[in-house]
Amino acid sequence: MQTILSMAIAVTLLTSLILVLRFGRLPLKGDDPQPLLAFMAILFTSGLDVGLIMFPLTEFPVYESEAAYGFTNALAIEFGFWGFLVWGFYFLTTVYFCLVEPRLRLFERPLIKLVNNGVIIATCAFTGFLFLTYLPTYIDGLPGAARYALVASVVLLAVLSSTDIRYVKWLGMGSTALFLGLTALLWLASGMGPASLLSVGGKLSAYFVHLPKFTSPLTDYHAFYLFWWFAWSIMIGQFVARFVGGLRVWHLLVALLIIPSLPIALWFSVLFHIHTEGIALIGPLRLCMVAVGVLFVVNSLDSLTRLYSENLQLTAARLGGPAYVAAHWSLLYGLILLYQFTPLKIEWIGMVVIGLYACLYALTYQNRALLHASKPGETS
C-alpha cells in the first residue's frame, strides 16, 4: 500500500507542477466566487478537522521517542503532517473542478458518482468517530452517555448548518476567527513571550530543510496521515472550487501552500512550547480547545453533507427540512457508531480515492480532444 501511496504522491506533485507551468496565469472562478480571505477561511475549516486541535499534544512525545523521526525535531514533524506541501492535494483537485470537470463532467458518470459520494459519507463518519474517540482525553470524567450525546448533537448541528450555504460560509469564517483567538489565549496562558514564540517557531525551518522526506511515508503513522489527506482531497476540491474568486492558477497554489500553513505553524509552536515546558492545561483551557474542536467538526461535516446531498439530489429543498435533517443525521450518526464495530480504516478509503484518481487521469486523457476543443475555463 505504501508503494502505491508514494507513487500517487509523486504523480500528484508532478501534475501540480505541470499545471502551474502551463496554465499558471489562467484565472479560476467558481459558481459562488468569494474574496480571498473568505475563500481561505472556508477551505481552512472545511479541509481540516478536530485532529488539528486534539492530536499535537499527544503526538509530540511519540515523534521525540521514535527513531524514524530522529532526523529532525518533533515540531517540524508535526507541521510536515499538517502543513504546506500536503495542501497541494487540494490545489490539484480545486483546479480540476474549476477547469476540467465543467467540460468533461466525469463526476456525473454513475460509477464515479457512486464511489465519490460513498467516500464523502464514509469520511464524514470517520471525522465524527475521531471526535468521539478523543473526547475523553480533553474532558476528564465525561460519562459515556454524555460523550455519545455530545457527538449526536454535533452531527445534528452540522446537518442543520448544511441546509443553507450561507450558514456554511459564516461558520467557516467564524471558526477561523475563533481558532486564532484560541491560539492567542493559549499563548498568553503559557507565558510565552514574543521572543520565545520566534525561537520555537524557528524550529519549523527544519521541515523545509528535510522537505523531500515528507513526500513519501516515513512510518505507518505518516502513511495514515497521507491516506487521510488523499481521502479528503477530491471532495474538498469539489466543494471549495465553487468559491474561487478569480485567482490565477499559480496564485491559488501559493495561497494554498502558505496561507493555511501560517496559523497551523503558529498553533503548533504554542502547543510545542506548552509540551516542552510541561505546562498543564487546566479545565477551562481544555474546554476552549474542545469548543473550537467542535466547531471544526461541524465545519467539516456541514460542508461535506452539503456536497454529497447535492450530488445525490437529497437536498433540503427536495426532501423538506425535517426529512432532510432526520435522514442525514441518522445516516451519519449511524455510521459513526458503526466505525466502532467494524475494521474499516481511513487507509482503505484513501486507497479508493487513489484508484479514483487513476480513473480520472485515464478518462481525462481519453477525452483530451474535448478539452482541447475549447479554451481553458470554457464549458462545453
Q: Phi and psi for 71 in degrees, rounded to 5?
A: -75, -10
Three-class DSSP category at 202: helix
Whether 147 and 135 have beta carbons less than 8 Å apart is answered as: yes
What separation in angstroms does the CA of 121 have from each of 127, 280, 291, 338, 342? 10, 37, 24, 13, 16
**What pTM does this model have?**
0.89
Residue 343 has a pLDDT of: 67
Three cell numbers, residue 49: 478537522
Three-class DSSP category at 70: coil
Domain ranges of the chain: 38-84+117-233+251-351
Output the DSSP codes for 250-297.
HHHHHHHHHTTHHHHHHHHHHHHHHHHTT----HHHHHHHHHHHHHHH
Residue 162 per-residue DSSP state: T
Residue 375 has a pLDDT of: 56
**Cell 474542545, located at residue:** 290
For the chain, which residues score pLDDT lower than 50?
377, 379-380
Residue 380 has a pLDDT of: 38
Task: Give Cβ neighbours of residue 102 (< 8 Å, ≥ 6 apart).
Answer: 379, 380
Residue 46 has a pLDDT of: 79
> What's the rounded Cα separation, in Å, for the pair 113 and 109?
6
Task: Give Cβ neighbours of residue 143 (< 8 Å, ≥ 6 apart).
Answer: none
Instruction: Quick: pLDDT tens for 149-167.
Output: 988 999 999 999 899 878 7
Cα angle 181, 183, 185 (rounded to 5 degrees) comes to: 70
Q: How many other C-beta atoms lie within 10 A of the C-beta of residue 250?
A: 15
Longest dimension (CA), the chain: 63
Q: Burial, 112: exposed, middle or buried (Cβ in 10 Å; 0-12, 13-18, 19+)? A: middle
Buried b (16+ CB within 10 A) or exposed e, 190-207: bebeeebbeebbebbebb
Residue 379 has a pLDDT of: 43
Residue 48 has a pLDDT of: 79
Nearest CA to 310 out of 162, 182, 111, 186 is that of 162
> What's the rounded Cα separation, in Å, for the pair 193 and 191?
6
Instruction: Quick: pLDDT tens for 42-67.
Output: 888 877 777 888 889 999 999 999 99
Nearest CA to 302 out of 239, 228, 245 is that of 239
